[in-house]
Amino acid sequence: ELPFAFGVSPLRPVRVAPLLPSIQLPLMLEWSRTSSYDFVVVRRLWYLRFRLVLSFPALSFVDSVFVLRCCDPSARAKQNFDWSKMKFLGVPDWIILVATALVLLYLYAARHRNYWKDQNVIQEEFSLIFAAVRRMMFKPFHQMDQDRYRKFGKLFGVYEGTKPVLFVADPELVKRVLVKDFPSLPNRRAFTFNDSLLDNMMSILPVERWRRIRPAASPAFSTGKLRKMNSLIADCARKTAEHLKMTAEKEEELLDIKQFYGNYALDVIARCAFATRLDSHTQETNEFVTKARQAFSGKITLPLILLFLFPGVFKLLKLKAFNTDVFLYFKDLCLKIIEGRKEKKSRQEDFLQLMMDAQDGSITTTVETAQSTEEKLFNLDSEIKMDTSFLGGVKALTEDEAMAQCVLFFLAGQDTTSSVISYTAYLLALHPEIQAKLREEADECFKQHGPDPSLDVVSKLKYLHGVVSESLRMYPPAVRIERAALSDYVLGDTGIKVPKGCVVAVPIYSMHHDPEYFPDPATFDPNRFSDENIDSIRPYTYLPFGAGPRNCIGMRFALEAVKLSLLHSVHCVEFVRTKNTKVPLEFVTGFGVLNAKNITIGIRKRTA
């Protein structure tokens, strides 16, 4: 074996012809000066060129060419040369090895860095770590998408971590991604939370498991079930309105309206999912309430960044993105309630009972035909009423699967509902003329139908529908929808190749604020959704709850809870703008639901 050394010299440059034409490596060679001898002149030497053999076939495009200047053993012995003291630019060998490994790792991770460019798709400049992490740490998620949308248009590619992501905002392509080509794009982004509960939530499950669990949960949101839950939700809405009146009488400013309506959402979820009666406004120390508020910190953390950008590293390190003790608490709570019901042989009309039946495999499911204006708006058209055979039959769920859906109901229902009500109340405070018109409709509703209007009555309140729909346009709960390819896929007539597992993203927030789709998008105008204007909204440009088979399963439940709360609230008090009201709102960084830093408005007693 020939001894060799790495060195650099400004005196003797050697340019290396690469084995592949893409990279050239200029190298300077020199023997190091040491304390035991002067500059060594090696008389007999040669250059050994070799390719580094890699274990990653995907790196075949890299010119990993090294030049070694070697001396033969006789020359080395003659000069009494100490090879252990050889260094490269005075840097120890182990640092060189680590640096080399990092470079190779980067090249492997960046192997897709020109994936979209090679297909003539406009792309954002590739950044593996620094720019990507900086954006996530310091810029709200919806603002990242909005900046890209304004810069690149309605069809472009980006890179999130090591993976290419395709953004689609053209309505016809959106329809294809979410509905027409659902068999090719049935999955959502793959997440592994390293938690038995979170990893079984149907919102993130691959299609093979999702199609088994979705039919088990769907009956909870049927029209019949929602009618039964209407009185429960209305009772929570009345209590919340009473607390608003007490706040108004004290002339106190409501500093955190999202937390206030978060209490309402907790009460609704506790009643409808767990048959538990709460008043979170007064029971601040109740364990259910305190645990619920611990579920998410609302802050972007390193584990969350790794989960989003480098899910493989997150899984390998077995990190936790959230406080899993909270989820274990709710699982234990559910199991205790189930045990009590089995002992007493009692049944309740709630989501937990539905999951109990799902564990026994005793659920039947039906497909409802939606005809209302509300369904037309959110479901868009009859094309998504496709053959439901892809769902398969209803099979028994495991304990973790059943409990995971209860946790999902709690998380998604609580956060989405409180956010939508808070943003709507904020917008009403900024637009008193719209609030006054909504109050007139609420007063007339209670006058005609009494203190507990039915689900059918509330769903037909047209101005309330317009107010909530416009609020969802301006502040959609989820700022983007994502679908992942089940196998290699070509997007319609574009010819763009989407590889297996690649995410196709629909930037909901950006589309909702595109003046081409919604003129003067910064203006709060409920009349956009009036009967006269509803047909002017282009299909697949308004997507607050998604579309297609994997749209939000709890959409109608959330809308019912939002509308009942607003109906009772504006009937009792006035929302007003104060000197502390932020215009525009400021949002926290990170991803998930659209999350404002704080929503501060004033509460006053009704003047009329």
pLDDT tens across 382-430, in order? Answer: 444 444 445 555 568 888 899 999 888 887 888 889 999 999 999 999 9
In angstroms, rounded to a whole number, what is the distance separating the alpha carbons of residues 427 and 130?
A: 37
> Cα angle at 155 between 166 and 469, to 5 degrees?
95
Claim to verify: residue 229 and residue 337 sit in the same structural domain: yes
Instruction: Report how many domains make up the chain.
Output: 2
pLDDT in the model for residue 509: 97
Is 150 part of a structural domain of the chain? no
Claim to verify: residue 394 and residue 469 sit in the same structural domain: yes
Is 10 part of a structural domain of the chain? yes
552 annotated as ligand-binding: yes
Is 152 part of a structural domain of the chain? no
Comparing 328 with 251, the larger pLDDT belongs to: 328
Residues ≥6 apart with Cβ < 8 Å to 184: 485, 486, 487, 489
Claim to verify: residue 270 and residue 387 sit in the same structural domain: yes
Where does the pLDDT of residue 287 fall: very low under 50, low under 70, confident under 90, or very high at 90 and above? confident
Claim to verify: residue 102 and residue 181 sit in the same structural domain: no
Q: Which of the listed residues 93, 109, 125 is the one where a domain comes to its end? A: 109
- CB neighbour class for 526 (10 Å; exposed up to 12, middle 13-18, buried from 19): buried
pLDDT at 44 over 70: no
Is 344 part of a structural domain of the chain? yes
347-362: average pLDDT:
83
Claim to verify: residue 79 and residue 209 sit in the same structural domain: no
Which range among 319-323, 380-384, 588-592 shows the weakest confidence by mean pLDDT? 380-384
CB 575 within 8 A of CB 602: yes
Claim to verify: residue 189 and residue 77 sit in the same structural domain: no
Is 543 part of a structural domain of the chain? yes
Q: Quick one: DSSP state of residue 464?
A: H
Claim to verify: residue 444 and residue 585 sit in the same structural domain: yes
In what helix (H) or strand (E) does residue 604 lie, and over which residues does it extend? strand 601-605
Dihedral sign (CA 280, 284, 290, 295): positive
CB 86 within 8 A of CB 120: no
Claim to verify: residue 302 and residue 387 sit in the same structural domain: yes
Is 199 part of a structural domain of the chain? yes
Where does the pLDDT of residue 278 fall: very low under 50, low under 70, confident under 90, or very high at 90 and above? confident
Q: Which of the listed residues 60, 78, 109 is the one where a domain comes to its end? A: 109
- Torsions phi, psi for 372 (to 5 deg): -70, 165
CATH code at position 394:
1.10.630.10
Q: Provide the whole-model pTM.
A: 0.81
Comparing 547 with 384, the larger pLDDT belongs to: 547
At 463 the three-state DSSP class reads: helix
Q: What is the tens place of the pLDDT at every residue in 174-202?
A: 999 999 999 999 999 988 888 888 899 99
Comparing 64 with 550, the larger pLDDT belongs to: 550
pLDDT at 157 over 90: yes
Q: What is the DSSP string of 201-265?
A: -TTTS-HHHHHHHHHHHGGGGSHHHHHHHHHHHHHHHHHHHHHHHHHHHTT-EES-HHHHHHHHH
Is 141 part of a structural domain of the chain? no
Average pLDDT, the chain: 80
Range of the domain at 458: 174-484+504-605
Is 153 part of a structural domain of the chain? no
pLDDT at 149 over 70: yes
Claim to verify: residue 466 and residue 544 sit in the same structural domain: yes
pLDDT in the model for residue 368: 55
Claim to verify: residue 97 and residue 192 sit in the same structural domain: no
pLDDT at 294 over 80: no
Comparing 39 with 387, the larger pLDDT belongs to: 387
Phi-psi region of 188 (alpha: psi -120 to 50; beta: other; left: phi over 0): beta
In what helix (H) or strand (E) does residue 304 lie, and over which residues does it extend? helix 302-309
Q: Which of the listed residues 56, 79, 109 is the one where a domain comes to its end? A: 109
- The percent of residues above 90 in pLDDT, for the chain, comes to 45
Claim to verify: residue 429 and residue 536 sit in the same structural domain: yes
What is the token pair recorded at 25?
A: 């490596």
pLDDT in the model for residue 289: 80
pLDDT at 541 over 80: yes
Claim to verify: residue 101 and residue 188 sit in the same structural domain: no
Where does the pLDDT of residue 173 fall: very low under 50, low under 70, confident under 90, or very high at 90 and above? very high
